[in-house]
A = this chain, B = another copy of it.
Amino acid sequence: MRVLLRVAYDGSAYCGYQIQDNGDTIQEELEKALLDLFCVPIETTGGSRTDAGVHSLGNPVVFDVETKMKAMSIAPALNVRLPEDIRVLSSVEVASDFHPHTAPSRKTYEYCIRVQRMEVPTERNRVLTVHVPLDLAAMQKAAGYLEGEHDFTSFSSIHAQVTSKVRTIYSCQVTCDERDTIPTYNPLDPEEEGFGRLIRIRVTGNGFLYNMVRIIAGTLVEVGRGAMKAEEVEKVLAAMDRSKAGPTAPAKGLTMIRTEFVEL
């Protein structure tokens, strides 16, 4: 049968999702656990090849296996064989021709930014610290230009190996919940400039190019700190030139929130 796993992980200790020569990966840990469980080597295919340091709350992973086990019993059996920074949230049987790369889907990522002088220890592996105030309204306006169907060449790594760079972003929301604010306690930081805020960039689309969410985050930070005008984002898109967008924001602030398959 073909099995679909939803795999959550803290990516801090890994060189990314996909197996590679130079270090530990999520996929390698998963395949070791599958080998231990089924006593045969099993190849897996992950829906998102997240980079080193990127986290996930449910990356879809597919593999084929011949077994009498019920599909739903596979998740707990894998979890006792996995390190504590990787957990399989569920395992279900899917059609034998289901494939996470070709099945139409809505993917959601979140990038988190803390405006604070010092890094907050409880967040140190999953939130980017920015040391200057960010203009939330400008970031929200800039994010609006990214929604819709566009060619995202400007927002994709020059190393992206795909033929079409056209993707649809259903929503790109920049939010800040006052409850998540941590005062800087620094008398020099004017509260009205938003020091201490946690800013979340949440983006849902039908697919993302290599580094796309991190480049979107890096560009929105440029807008937030006033180095780029919100309106310029429209021109950056139109330029289809990676060098016009902002820098690629660090991996650790990024979490793959979910992938919803239209057919499932």
Contacts and interface: CB of A to CB of B under 8 A. Distances in A.
B124 A84 contact: yes
A119 B86 CA distance: 9
Interface size band for A:
35 or more
Contacts of A58: 182-183, 185
| Count of identical protomers in the assembly | 2
B6 A185 contact: yes
Contacts of A87: 118-121
Interface string A94-123: 000000000000000000000011111110
Contacts of A209: none
A186 interface: yes
A91 to B, nearest CB: 9
A17 interface: no
A70 B58 CA distance: 48
A122 B126 contact: yes
A124 B10 contact: yes
Interface in A230-264: 255, 257-258
A85 B119 CA distance: 9
Contact of A117 (B89, B121, B122, B184): B89
Interface string A215-226: 000000000000
A146 interface: no
Which of A72, A126, A186 counts the most B-chain CB atoms under 10 A from its CB?
A186
Nearest to A90: B185
Given A92-B187, A116-B89, A184-B90, A84 B121 contact: yes
24 contacts: A6-B183, A6-B185, A8-B121, A8-B122, A9-B121, A10-B121, A10-B124, A55-B121, A55-B122, A58-B182, A72-B187, A79-B118, A84-B119, A85-B124, A86-B121, A87-B121, A88-B118, A89-B120, A89-B185, A89-B186, A90-B117, A90-B185, A122-B126, A182-B258
